[in-house]
């Protein structure tokens, strides 16, 4: 019987060590894919699944703006949202860089005004049904991780009275 008690204590120690090791793994091992600029300390770096992926796009069509430009916004299964400006092929900018960026994004919408400079509207729907919107200035300067904060000013704001709340 003493052997069983000793074995049980040994299993508790091993289980505790494994759990501690799992908790101590740095969040930097989270990989958001190529071009990601996600902050590893973000609450979404834990790998939490939000359960949806989405993509939307808008193409400006105004004078003095290059033809063929497309703005794309996508969300991944962990709820992160990213912006791509076709003038920067392969660069996806983590929208978490903007102030008040929501967590657990499950839907995206994108539109652009027909003026120069134009306004790019990025609307993100979160898992709890709230909508958040950022308004960014789009001109001849492509969106990039180093310029996104200046181009999108105040970042995201909550749109009140969203009708799709859970």
| Residue numbers of the domain that contains 133 | 43-159
Global model pTM greater than 0.75: no
* Percent of all residues in the chain with a pLDDT value above 70, rounded to a whole number: 67
3-class SS shares of the chain: helix, strand, coil, % to 5:
20, 30, 50
Domain membership flag for residue 2: no
pLDDT value of position 48: 64
| CB burial string 76-91: b at 16+ within 10 A, e below | bebbbbbbbbbbeeeb
Average pLDDT over residues 91-96: 97
pLDDT higher than 50, residue 7: no
pLDDT value of position 18: 32
Backbone φ, ψ for residue 10 (5° rounding): -65, -40
Domain membership flag for residue 4: no
Number of domains in the chain: 1
Domain membership flag for residue 14: no
């Amino acid at each position: 019987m003493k052997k069983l008690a000793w074995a049980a204590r040994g299993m508790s120690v091993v289980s505790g060590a494994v759990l501690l090791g799992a908790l101590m793994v740095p969040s930097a091992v989270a990989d958001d894919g190529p071009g990601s600029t996600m902050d590893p300390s973000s609450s979404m770096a834990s790998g939490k699944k939000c359960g949806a992926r989405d993509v939307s796009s808008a193409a400006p069509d105004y004078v003095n703006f290059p033809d063929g430009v497309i703005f794309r916004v996508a969300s991944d299964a962990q709820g992160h949202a990213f912006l791509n400006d076709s003038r920067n092929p392969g660069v996806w900018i983590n929208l978490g860089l903007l102030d008040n960026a929501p967590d657990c994004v499950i839907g995206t919408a994108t539109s652009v005004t027909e003026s120069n400079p134009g306004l790019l509207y990025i609307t993100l729907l979160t898992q709890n049904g709230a909508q958040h919107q950022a308004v960014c200035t789009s001109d001849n300067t492509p969106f990039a991780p180093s310029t996104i904060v200046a181009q999108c000013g105040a970042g995201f704001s909550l749109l009140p009275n969203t009708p799709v709340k859970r």
